[in-house]
Amino acid sequence: MLLLSVLAGGFGAIVGIGGGLVIVPVLTVLVGVPVKSAIAASLVGVIATSTAASARYLSTEVADRRLGLVLLLGTVSGGIVGGFVAGLLDARTLSGLFALMLVLVALQMLRGREPDAPSPVPAADATPETTTLDHAFASSYREPTTGEIVPYRVRRVPLGTGISLFAGSVSGLLGVGGGIVNVPTMNVVMGIPLRVATTTSTYMLAATAVASALLYQARGELDPLVAAPVALGMFMGARGGARLAARLHVAWLRYLFVGVSAFFAWQMVQRVLGG
């Protein structure tokens, strides 16, 4: 299980979708772990990787903690809802929902769309659509590759918080990090630079996952003997994967992810149909 978690964490980090999306079907289909225990273990893995990464991002002041705190109001609420609803659904329904999400993410990868990185809005160019609330989150970050200080403005904070509620629900329900919703929301909807969006999303993942993991633990669905190697493995894999990503042809790996997703989605659908 440790080795599989390292591979899942690494693969998820390389293709940019996080380890949760990979580890849940791996545990369910290959190891035979009940799907709810797999989801709970994945949430623990998300907490482990994001906690460690957040410490680094906060130290380098790339993550926007102020904005992250506000969006956490949405994601943590969603995490509670998702974790609660997961307790009401049976394993077959959860497997079906996870298979659907695998298909949607795979299709998104096939389309090859990356979230756009919009130009930071100069503070002097106030547009009618920016509100007082948006101005309150104007900030800057130091681009690590150039050392340049890049200012940016944030748009549509209430809408972003609302979408974060959905992201948290997905995270709590299916054991994924929520970054697959958070990052495009922050980058495309709210106009935040991609680097800030990914690091801020990482900052948010831990507290979001805690909110739902507690509910799985209370229901007795969190098996520590599964969660421990998953957390350790996903952390190790994510660190290694991030380093490897710069050296690999990510495009080919994304096609591999599409193939792997199709396999696991089919396996999970068979469980739904077979009972």
CB-facing half-sphere around the CA of 79: CA atoms within 13 A: 31
Position among 124, 128, 145, 246 found at the interface with other proteins (CB under 8 A): 124
Q: What's the Cα-to-Cα distance from 209 to each of 90, 146, 172, 231, rounded to whole Å?
A: 20, 33, 7, 13
Region of 59-67, 95-103, 179-187, 239-247 interacting with other proteins (CB under 8 A): 59-67
Q: Nearest CA to 176 among 205, 204, 138, 133? A: 205
Region of 31-39, 221-229, 242-250, 264-272 interacting with other proteins (CB under 8 A): 221-229
Reduce the DSSP state of residue 226 to 3 states and report it: helix
Distance in Å, CB of 129 to other proteins, minimum? 17
Distance in Å, CB of 101 to other proteins, minimum? 23
Nearer to other proteins, 108 or 217 (CB): 217
Looking up tokens 């801020």 gives 200
The rounded distance, in Å, linking the Cα atoms of 203 and 21 is 18
Q: Rule CB under 8 A: is residue 171 a binding residue for other proteins?
A: no
Nearer to other proteins, 96 or 241 (CB): 241
The rounded distance, in Å, linking the Cα atoms of 157 and 128 is 15
Nearer to other proteins, 100 or 143 (CB): 143
Q: Rule CB under 8 A: is residue 190 a binding residue for other proteins?
A: no
- Tell which positions 127-156 bind other proteins, by CB under 8 A: 135-140, 151
Region of 12-20, 80-88, 107-115, 187-195 interacting with other proteins (CB under 8 A): 80-88
Q: What's the Cα-to-Cα distance from 254 to each of 18, 249, 259, rounded to whole Å?
A: 13, 9, 9
Distance in Å, CB of 70 to other proteins, minimum? 6
Region of 17-25, 55-63, 93-101, 256-264 interacting with other proteins (CB under 8 A): 55-63
Distance in Å, CB of 62 to other proteins, minimum? 11
CB-facing half-sphere around the CA of 64: CA atoms within 13 A: 27
Position among 23, 26, 39, 211 found at the interface with other proteins (CB under 8 A): 211
Nearer to other proteins, 4 or 106 (CB): 4
User: Tokens representing 34?
Assistant: 């009940």
The rounded distance, in Å, linking the Cα atoms of 168 and 77 is 7
184-214 burial, b for 16+ CB within 10 Å, e for fewer?
bbbbeebbbbbbbbbbbbbbbbbbbbbbbbe
The rounded distance, in Å, linking the Cα atoms of 132 and 262 is 46
x/- track of binding to other proteins for residues 227-266 (CB under 8 A): xxx-xx--x-------------------------------
Give residues in contact with other proteins (CB under 8 A). 2, 44, 47-48, 51-52, 54-56, 58-59, 61, 65-66, 69-70, 72-73, 76-77, 79-80, 83-84, 122-124, 135-140, 151, 206-207, 210-215, 217-219, 222, 224-225, 227-229, 231-232, 235
